Structure 1
Amino acid sequence: MNSTTKGNALENSIFEYFHNLIEIGDFFGGMKFCKIFQKKGYYSRDRETEIIFDVSIEAYLPGSSNYIVLFLIECKNYGHPVPVSDVEEFFTKVQQVGAANSKAILISSNSIQTGGLAFAKSKGMGVARYYDPQTLKWQLDRSSSYSFQEKYSSNSFNIISALSQESQGSSIFDFHLQTAKRPTNSIAVFFEDLCEDFNLEGFSEDFWPPIKQQPSLVPFQSKNDLELQAARVLEYIKYEQGCVDLQELICKHPAMTGLQLKHTEIESPVGSGAPLGRIEFKPLTIEIFIYPDRNIGRERFTFAHELAHLLLGHGRVMRREYTEEKDFNPPKSLIKEESDIFRMEYQANYFAACLLMPRKSFVEHFMRGLRLLELHNKGFGALYVDTQDCNVQNYLAITGVLMQIYQTSRMAVTIRAKELGLLRDDRNSFSSLKRLVESENGFQWLGREVD
């Protein structure tokens, strides 16, 4: 792709993004108050000719033939950070065509040199880094940067890092933005800040509605709701106990009609951020990535996680998603800008656990193990583990056999047992916990066989 074609690709994406918002009435009152153009020229007295801008947005008062606000957008689709000189040059061009009622907005697919960010802030410019939705970890039907409308983000450091560091990616937001006032992930906050320099008296609330948080698109479901739904799914294969046959489930469940299942081998070992699985809803595809250090339990949980997105109807909100290892144990605190995503990921994880380790069967095998080890609840929970060797060995023995029965990882078994109130874990050291969870030892019930 040559530089012109590459530049046009970003320009087309930005034009389409804002054109869609205007068309549905979600930007400056929509078509009633707003016009958007691509490659339109604006007259410069200094040059005595027009200067062509990549994208321009004109905002009008009702009944007026002259725009009251002009946003001029330059798109930079470089394979390197945008230099300070480009920011300065673009600002100068905007000044030539209408300094009083225009705002310069530079949008880049790459980072922007820190000097450029400082210059833009000093001149009241808007700058943004745009991420193609195809590159995001979660691609939602509704743009995350449009949906997120909090005035002050707790994510300011990450936004500045993404704007200034070439290697910084984005998993959720399609825009990282900066105004003279603040960094933000919100398109609404970004344009509201840019408009503070203008006298917008006379604009109706329809033109510039007050910023408010968008409602969640993902309905709340309790743990019991998810347990019941997983149980109904398992009825399709007449499940009774033991390892769940996911392949049989695919063949018999009507929601999986037309599902394409792919297994892709990866030569390098699993690393931080490496995808374990991926789901795409159009066409309906689940892809599982196979690594040299193959882990059947990890692959099964990944597969069940992606199936959960399908079975829970997340395709109504999401177009595609990929999963990495850290997603299987998400943070307990809800982050506002990630609420829909957090909710979907939590539901997918819990549903996957219910699907792979059905409650009734899991509890029966767990309690049978306690009886064989002659363990009794002494007020600390059915199974208690701290750093004492005897308690650790009991923990490894019971979770080891459950790993074999249900073909899942020790981490999955541990989390499931905790969620069901069967395990109390009082180990304080995260590093020792991680070593124990990842250990492949202790699969036998102290030499006893369990059917």
Structure 2
Amino acid sequence: MPSDPIEIVKLSTYAKGDLFEERVYEYLKRELEQGDLWFSPKFSQIFRKKKYYSREREDFIVFDISIEVKRPELDEPSLIVLIECKHYESTIPVNDIEEFCSKIGQVTGVNVKGVFASASAFQAGAFKVAKNKGVAVVRHFDAEGFKWELSRPLLMRSLSLAARQRAQIEHGMVEPQYQPSAYTAYAWTSVGFTNAWQGVMQDFMNGVKDDPAVREMLSVKRQPAKHRVAFVSKTAIEARTQELLNAAGYVGGNVDLQSLIAQERQISGLTVHFRDESKSALGRISFHPPQINIFTQDHEAPLSRFTLAHELGHFFLGHGQYLRHEEVRSDDLEITASSRIPLSDIERLEWQANMFASYLLLPRRALLERFALIAEIYGMRNRGHGILYVDKQAVNYGNFKLVLGNLSHHFRVSKTAVRLRLAGLGVLVDKLNH
């Protein structure tokens, strides 16, 4: 065992580098096997610590990771991607990029592309050097802290990114403390910025000089639509919740989520656990296998019930095709206040889950029947503005508080959830929040 503190630090740095290299390798291997890395898995292989001959050295150079894409009738690959992995405490200096480019330049005879992958941020000048040398630089993030871990990136093409997105990626690559919410990698390639390894590999494949038909054969092209997350209407979401309620034998009152979960456990193996509180998250869902964690021991609190219903929304709406896991945080539930369907893919998933939670916990028929009963008991009438109209007048505000309090208690949801659901049904005319 080394006793010199400097030697201990060096060993620690090397160990971190090896772990990072292994993590990148396992990620790329999985993406390649699934056909999610742009290269056809049938004609591609990934290696670790493979040697490539250098004429200058008259010897072999070992590269951390390499990917070879080869036409079946040829001995030599059509494309070799050589990847160097680094994990520093400080930013990646420009000298490291230059040294890597020098090694890449010594591997000749085939179409060779280089990727410098780092867990650390890059010095700003790294982009200029990489551009001039024709290599890509990638900052690969640890997905453990992600709010969303995507099954595959929802954005792939570097050229299609908006200026705001490009600026965010560039910032994320040079800011040491930056941590994204979803995307595994931020990268710069010869054509610009991308938020996915797929964007890097796509640019490399486009540079292959083979016949277009051959290039097509070697590629797996998954061109994203304008919105890759499928549109699901409010009507369809509400219909799905009603199916589940009918299957669980719901007849009224607060929805028994545990009964619904017990039934689903027999079908898919879905499990739900209540854990100690988390500083950052209210709940979390993983899809393979299906498991939900709610970070509170109070099963019946309105917030924990809505959080659980939100995560059930991700599950029952099939969001596992987009996500490996998701965390819900307090600010995510605020999206319920908007009836506008979000434009971004990630926000669309959250919007759908929130709509599902609202419809599941406050079923239309049961809610309207309970509201009609309250209105009859307290003599509420439509005086030209709707039965439940709230403004600053004391009588209107009094009725509003009475209805929200009663329904909140009856269905065990928050008053905010009740207010938004009633407004969505056209029952509440809310002048206080307009």
User: Cα distance 1:15–1:229, how it changes in 2: closer, same or farther (>3 A)?
Assistant: same
Q: Distance in 1 between matches of 2:272 and 2:368?
A: 31
User: Cα distance 1:186–1:284, how it changes in 2: closer, same or farther (>3 A)?
Assistant: closer
Q: Distance in 2 between matches of 1:124 and 1:100?
A: 15
Mean CA deviation greater in 33-42 or 213-222: 213-222
Describe the SS at the equivalent of 1:290.
coil
Counterpart amino acid of residue 423 in structure 2: K
User: Cα distance 1:151–1:251, how it changes in 2: closer, same or farther (>3 A)?
Assistant: same
- For residues 234-383 of structure 1, the aligned pairs below 5 Å read 234-235=245-246, 238-253=249-264, 255=266, 259-266=270-277, 274-290=280-296, 296-315=301-320, 318-330=323-335, 332-336=340-344, 338=345, 341-370=346-375, 372=378, 374-376=380-382, 378-379=384-385, 381-383=386-388
Instruction: Decide whether the 8 Å contact of 2:20 with 2:119 is kept in 1.
Output: yes
- For residues 223-238 of structure 1, the aligned pairs below 5 Å read 223-235=234-246, 238=249
| Other-structure match for 1:144 | 153
User: Cα distance 1:407–1:180, how it changes in 2: closer, same or farther (>3 A)?
Assistant: same
| Other-structure match for 1:443 | none
The question of 1:185 aligning with 2:191 is answered: no
Counterpart amino acid of residue 141 in structure 2: Y
| Other-structure match for 1:432 | none
Pick the aligned partner of 2:407 from 402, 414, 434. Answer: 402
1:221 positional shift: 3.9
1:107 positional shift: 1.4
Describe the SS at the equivalent of 2:216.
coil
Q: Distance in 1 between matches of 2:38 and 2:255?
A: 53
Describe the SS at the equivalent of 1:104.
strand
CA RMSD of aligned residues (A): 3.6
Q: TM-score, normalised by structure 2?
A: 0.81
Q: Distance in 2 between matches of 1:358 and 1:277?
A: 23
Counterpart amino acid of residue 315 in structure 2: L
Instruction: Decide whether the 8 Å contact of 2:278 with 2:295 is kept in 1.
Output: no
Describe the SS at the equivalent of 1:364.
helix
1:323 positional shift: 0.8
The question of 1:105 aligning with 2:107 is answered: no
Identity of aligned residues (%): 33
The runs of 5 or more residues in structure 2 that have no matched partner are: 1-10
Describe the SS at the equivalent of 2:176.
coil
User: Cα distance 1:349–1:116, how it changes in 2: closer, same or farther (>3 A)?
Assistant: same
Q: Distance in 1 between matches of 2:315 and 2:364?
A: 21
1:61 positional shift: 4.7
Q: Distance in 2 between matches of 1:82 and 1:181?
A: 21
Alignment length (residue pairs): 417
Q: Distance in 1 between matches of 2:363 and 2:48?
A: 56
Describe the SS at the equivalent of 2:74.
coil
User: Cα distance 1:29–1:97, how it changes in 2: closer, same or farther (>3 A)?
Assistant: closer
Q: TM-score, normalised by structure 1?
A: 0.78
Instruction: Decide whether the 8 Å contact of 1:68 with 1:101 is kept in 2.
Output: yes
The question of 1:77 aligning with 2:87 is answered: yes
| Other-structure match for 2:57 | 47
Instruction: Decide whether the 8 Å contact of 1:188 with 1:211 is kept in 2.
Output: no
User: Cα distance 1:11–1:411, how it changes in 2: closer, same or farther (>3 A)?
Assistant: same
Instruction: Decide whether the 8 Å contact of 1:143 with 1:174 is kept in 2.
Output: no
Q: Distance in 2 between matches of 1:374 and 1:415?
A: 20
Instruction: Decide whether the 8 Å contact of 1:403 with 1:413 is kept in 2.
Output: yes
Q: Distance in 1 between matches of 2:286 and 2:226?
A: 24
